[in-house]
Chains A and B, each alone.
Chain A
């Protein structure tokens, strides 16, 4: 909403086909009291415990509000651990402190083993084809599960005999079917990274304290006021933001207007040393600014000279080729212009297929 009010709405959204498919698959996996899910889990992470029978506990976790549900989940986890049997918690609610304020998380499922181990289960609808899935999607699922593991550890710390498994179960459709298959994902690394990032986050109160008095992010405000309010919180835009953040297009416009080199990618910044703006880099490359003793500036000037030389030699070469074969050259140009004329009336021509 804030992004729309700022005039840079983010093009996010989920197709209802994907949504329906995800829900249908999750329902299939959890059908019959989660029998299929527990079978997959026992096959891959069962250990020495007895196989889950038909007496698996599936506690009711409904309660009013997220706090209530989180408390209910904690209670159910404690009871299930004390009972020493298999238990499946469907959509439990967990709380985790992020930057000083509580965030509520809802994993797809958590399974309690008879030995007191808790395992996070993540159900995704992307396929595992020939036992391998898209690496970037698996990575995202692992990071997501690591956050659940961290949140569960807070509950486990105050529960006797409980331990949170660092290996989570990823359930996906097998090949091109809707039959579930599962894979164990070790999330120790993702968990460590997330925990470190969480402790390093600036607390929201500290950010708020740095803002001028009376700053508001109410989307109903006039867009200039909002613009100023958003500008009061310094962004750190990088192209990766586009895939994740609703405000990314707004930040990109600001970042481009400032001429920041990060708009071309984070790695670019590392290459250019102390030069942070497009104009600054180009001026240094052209020899108008900058200290020639600075290795970055020297490298830039050399790069600019080499690039100019190469482009010039190519142009000379091409002109030479044209002169040597004027007929062929003219023919080629003519062919190109005919081709581009063809491009302009492409839609009409192509309309014939409708």
Chain B
């Protein structure tokens, strides 16, 4: 945490309200995000308990598993989840615009432009917390290797038709969520924590209810009081008024309400199985559906507060205007979405359990680039973020006092104006350090020449910079491309556009030190579905 963030947190403690950490919204929000509030069974890895899902805050779709240890019920849940999520994703898959992509021709090695499709928008998924993002990954992993009866008629316990496809999409979303600045799959807590500093620690900020209490406390109450209520307050039955945002449930809820309800359901099911005549069976079927309804309403009761909290968080975020470069990052998300759509359509197999060496290295490199790019773009979009970089000596604000034209000493001299600026800041400048400013959205480079003299009584120093580019091809710089005296300009020491590192070899060229090229053992490497056990105790 930087000092400026710490200061914001301390101010929040003092005022009893969260303080802004950003003046614009740094993540793109689509018009129709799909909100997913999942719950899982305590102690089980792949046994979802229920979910609320939908794009309409007034009409969430409730999915529930009455007995999470029953494979058929779990499959029914996943099939229903696929019906709720996949249409949302597929609605974006066919609305495309033409775009161009650079591709290297494998025959000639030349770079050529290729006309491709790019989805004009992509399905956005919002979950309540970071644990929810991990759960989406886990669901994806548990589903994508399943076989349906159509894939393989001999498979034992075939999965419902669209479940493996949902697994592949959720895996893609979960994987994309690890790219800094991406917005395909977002956690509400992460979104809110990016834009506000509360008066509690970042550990406590993972509680969605407490976090919202700090940002938007109820009238007449301080953030700390409201947050404490969200954390601890219980009703007369001993249940939390603000249930955990999941996917884990409150142990008290499990023990006092859910476990007895599931037991009743199990009993009703056994009774139905042993019913002897149609009349008795009818009565017992009624009992069974009553027990199921009870479980559904219990689950709805603990998920609805979280559902509302996520939407309230989105409202708060929409009040902030979107940062101008967030759109650019969303375009990258759209590319990623389109690329996965193409992989699915071309019949490629599901994502492997483990990436090969080249893919893993590529992912890491692209995430590093995305991180650097995100940091630069947020600072350029937002004076408050820039203030943090200025405090760290990575950027400075300066007023131009003098401009002197000089030229390179080549046959065709180019302009290299020397700009003298005045600032009270102390950036970490060394000789020939490159600094950048934004000129009509494009970065202009200058290099540091010298500091003019000792600080005056106001603590101001004069710095001399030499402008290096973006002045046109002629001898005289293009109009507007050179700063003028009186201009107040933000200079950064970091680059605005991040370039990726050197290209990595193709998978076929993987050296033996990194596992060697795949292929020789490709047949054995083909991903097998998870083995299923006949008894269904998870």
Q: Do A and B come from one complex?
A: yes
- B-binding residues in A (CB < 8 A): 9, 11, 13-22, 24, 125-127, 129-130, 173, 175-179, 239-240, 242-243, 249, 256, 259, 261, 263-265, 267-268, 271-272, 278-279, 281-282, 285, 299-300, 302-304, 306-307, 309-311, 313-314, 317-318, 321, 336, 339-340, 342-343, 346-347, 349-354
Chain A: CB-nearest residue to B397: A309
Docked CA distance A336–B318 (Å): 8
- B13 contacts the other chain (Cβ, under 8 Å)? yes
Pick from A130, A264, A285, A339: contact of B9, CB under 8 Å: A264
Q: Which residues from A are CB-within-8-Å of B126?
A: none
Q: Which 7 A-B pairs have the closest CB atoms?
A: A18-B43, A314-B23, A15-B42, A349-B58, A239-B201, A21-B43, A15-B254
Partner of B384, one of A15, A314, A350: A314
B42 near A130 (CB under 8 angstroms)?
A: no
B8 at the interface (CB under 8 A from A): yes
Q: List the B side residues contacting A314 at CB < 8 Å.
A: 23-24, 382-384
B residues neighboring A (CB under 8 Å): 1, 3-4, 6-11, 13-14, 20, 23-24, 41-46, 52, 57-62, 138, 141-142, 199-204, 224, 231-232, 240, 249-252, 254-255, 259, 296-297, 300, 304, 307-308, 311-312, 315, 318-319, 321, 353-354, 382-384, 386-388, 390-391, 530-533, 537-538
- Complex Cα gap A226–B420 (Å): 68
Q: Which residues of A contact B8 (CB under 8 A)?
A: 307
Partner of B315, one of A306, A321, A340: A340
Query: In the complex, are the beta carbons of B255 and A21 less than 8 A apart?
Result: no
Q: Is the beta-carbon distance between B254 and A17 smaller than 8 angstroms?
A: yes
CA distance A107 to B308 in the complex (A): 44
The answer to whether A264 and B7 touch across the interface, beta carbons within 8 angstroms, is no
- Judging by beta carbons under 8 Å apart, are B7 and A16 in contact? no
- Interface of chain A, helix or strand or loop or mixed? helix
Assess the B203–A239 pair: CB atoms within 8 A.
yes
CA distance A126 to B384 in the complex (A): 42
CB pair A350–B308 under 8 Å, yes or no, is yes
State whether A353 touches B59 (Cβ < 8 A): yes
Residue among A127, A263, A302 making CB contact with B201, cutoff 8 Å = A263
Cα–Cα, bound, A340→B315 (Å): 7
Q: Contacts A173-B45, A353-B59, A354-B62 known; A278 to B311 CB distance under 8 Å?
A: no
Report if A21-B249 is in contact (Cβ < 8 Å); known contacts: A130-B354, A350-B57: no
**Are B383 and A310 closer than 8 Å at their CB atoms?**
yes
Contact among B10, B141, B318 with A281 in the assembled complex (CB-CB below 8 Å): B10
Q: How far is the CB of B509 from chain A (nearest CB, A)?
A: 26
The reply to whether A239 and B204 contact each other, CB–CB distance below 8 Å, is yes
Picked from B3, B43, B312, B537, the residue with its CB within 8 Å of the CB of A299 is: B3
A-B contact count (CB 8 A): 195
Pairwise interchain contact A272-B312, C-beta atoms closer than 8 A:
no
Besides the contacts A318-B23, A350-B59, A353-B59, what 17 more A-B pairs have beta carbons closer than 8 Å?
A: A14-B42, A17-B42, A17-B259, A129-B138, A130-B141, A175-B45, A278-B10, A281-B10, A285-B7, A303-B4, A306-B390, A339-B315, A343-B312, A346-B308, A349-B59, A350-B57, A350-B308
How far is B201's CA from A11's CA once the two chains are assembled, in angstroms? 18
A299 CB, min distance to chain B CBs, angstroms: 6
Q: Is the CB of B533 within 8 A of A13?
A: no
Which one of A178, A304, A350 contacts B60 once the chains associate, using CB atoms below 8 Å? A350
Contacts of B382 in A (CB 8 A): 314
C-alpha spacing A9/B259, complex, angstroms: 23
Partner of A306, one of B252, B307, B391: B391
Asked whether, in the complex, the Cβ of B391 is within 8 Å of the Cβ of A302, the reply is yes
- Report yes or no: A343 in contact with B60, Cβ–Cβ below 8 A: no
**Chain A neighbourhood of B46, CB < 8 A:** 127, 176
- Smallest CB-CB separation from B299: which chain A residue? A354
Whole-angstrom distance between the alpha carbons of A317 and B382 in the complex?
11
A340 to B, closest residue via Cβ: B315
Q: How far is the CA of A16 from the CA of B257 in the complex (A)?
A: 11
Q: Is B14 touching A336 in the complex (CB atoms < 8 A)?
A: no
The complex places the Cα of A249 from the Cα of B224 at a distance, in Å, of: 13
- Do residues B45 and A129 form an inter-chain contact, with CB atoms below 8 A? yes
Give A337 Cβ to nearest chain B Cβ, in Å.
10
> Contacts of A261 on B, CB cut-off 8 Å?
10
Verify B321–A318 contact, CB threshold 8 A: yes
A14, A21, A175, A259: which contacts B44 (Cβ < 8 A)? Answer: A21
Distance, CA A176 to CA B141, complexed state (A): 10
Query: Are the CB atoms of A242 and B203 closer together than 8 Å?
Result: yes
A350 to B6, CA, bound (A): 38
Given the interface contacts A130-B354, A352-B58, A353-B62, does A179 sit within 8 Å of B204 by beta carbon?
Answer: no
Q: Name, among B201, B254, B259, the residue most crowded by chain A CB atoms within 10 Å (CB to CB).
A: B201
For B262, give the chain A residue with the smallest CB separation.
A17
